[in-house]
């Protein structure tokens, strides 16, 4: 199993939430859901959350220590898979998928023995379809695009490229379910917005597409606004947005 983690922000019930999730495990969900059919949670009430309900820098070391203890307990008891963490509304919630539940309490006693000064609630329930992972932790198309945007921004910044200055940004679009009329209308709208065609392209599946370019700032908030607009526009005309890049 390939395992790597991603973190992003989303809105949960009208409040900001920081989501950390195991992205690598997504490739194995169909196999794991039969082995680990039970979702379990450990919900910790923060002592000093920020005004927006997220984790403060003052309390972060203690919560990270708690997370390390949970990881050690996971290895010791081999209880299941750690799949994600949600910080929102003054709480931190750790989520696991369990193979068995008979040693759940032993796991908790070992992991939380040094954190009795926190208000903690725990529990588990059946989730054999892994709906919590798919629908709560895993980002939707727009959230995933923001994750990728910020990775590219970070890479550009690391190379010393000023993100506040405009440069040529290339965008790739595929006409997944577009009729010819939808395709031409979409291209005209994009042209009206200042995008120019660089070249035609095809996806690995042979779907026709196009690479467009425009002079824009690759700064975090700017590129988020641009790409989310392009996703919405593509969805309207049966196309799909496939990301951006810039030449260094």
Q: How many domains does the chain have?
A: 2
Between CA 187 and CA 206 the distance in angstroms is 19
pLDDT of 176: 95
* Non-local CB neighbours of 5 within 8 Å, separated by 6+ positions: 20, 21, 22, 23, 24
What digits encode the pLDDT tens for the residues 11-66? 999 999 999 999 999 988 998 999 999 999 999 999 999 999 999 999 999 999 99
For 9, 21, 67, 91, 129, the CA distances from 118, given in Å and listed in that order, are: 25, 23, 13, 11, 32
Sign of the C-alpha dihedral computed for residues 158, 160, 162 and 166 taken in this order: negative
Whether 112 and 187 map to the same domain: the answer is no
Domain final residue, candidates 137, 168, 199: 137
* Non-local CB neighbours of 65 within 8 Å, separated by 6+ positions: none
Whether 161 and 240 map to the same domain: the answer is yes
For 6, 233, 243, the CA distances from 50, given in Å and listed in that order, are: 22, 36, 33
pLDDT of 1: 53
pLDDT of 27: 87
Domain final residue, candidates 137, 154, 170: 137
C-alpha torsion angle, residues 18, 24, 26, 27 (rounded to 10): 170
Whether 109 and 186 map to the same domain: the answer is no
Whether 39 and 108 map to the same domain: the answer is yes
Whether 111 and 158 map to the same domain: the answer is no
Between CA 86 and CA 16 the distance in angstroms is 10
- % of the chain surpassing 70 pLDDT: 99
What digits encode the pLDDT tens for the residues 118-171? 999 999 999 999 999 999 999 999 999 999 999 999 999 999 999 999 999 999
Whether 89 and 178 map to the same domain: the answer is no
Long-range contact pairs involving 110-119 (C-beta distance under 8 Å, separation at least 24): 110/73, 110/76, 110/77, 111/42, 111/66, 111/69, 111/70, 111/72, 111/73, 112/42, 112/66, 112/69, 114/69, 115/44, 115/62, 115/66, 115/69, 118/44, 118/45, 118/47, 118/66, 119/44, 119/45
Average pLDDT over residues 88-103: 96
CB 157 within 8 Å of CB 218: no
What's the CATH number where 146 sits? Answer: 3.30.70.970
Whether 153 and 45 map to the same domain: the answer is no
Residue 75: domain span? 5-137
């Amino acid at each position: 199993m390939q395992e790597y983690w991603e973190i992003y922000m989303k809105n949960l019930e009208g409040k900001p939430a920081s989501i950390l999730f195991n992205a690598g495990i997504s490739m194995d969900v169909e196999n794991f859901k039969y082995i680990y059919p039970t979702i379990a949670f450990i919900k910790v009430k923060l002592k000093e959350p920020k005004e927006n309900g997220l984790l403060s820098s003052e309390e972060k070391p203690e919560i990270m220590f708690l997370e390390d203890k949970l990881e050690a307990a996971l290895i010791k008891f081999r209880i299941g898979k750690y799949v994600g963490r949600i910080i929102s509304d003054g709480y931190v919630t750790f989520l696991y998928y369990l193979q068995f539940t008979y040693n759940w309490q032993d796991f908790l006693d070992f992991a939380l023995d040094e954190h009795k000064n926190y208000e903690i609630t725990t529990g588990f329930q059946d989730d054999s379809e892994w709906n919590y992972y798919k629908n709560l932790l895993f980002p939707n198309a727009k959230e995933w695009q923001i994750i990728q945007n910020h990775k590219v921004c970070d890479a550009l910044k690391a190379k010393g490229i000023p993100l506040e200055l405009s440069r040529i940004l290339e965008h790739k679009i595929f006409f997944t379910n577009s009729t010819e009329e939808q395709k031409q209308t979409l291209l005209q709208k994009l042209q009206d917005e200042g995008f120019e065609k660089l070249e035609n392209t095809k996806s690995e599946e042979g779907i026709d597409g196009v690479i467009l370019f425009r002079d824009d700032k690759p700064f975090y908030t700017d590129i988020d606004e641009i790409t989310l607009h392009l996703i919405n526009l593509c969805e309207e005309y049966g196309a799909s947005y496939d990301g951006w890049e810039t030449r260094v």
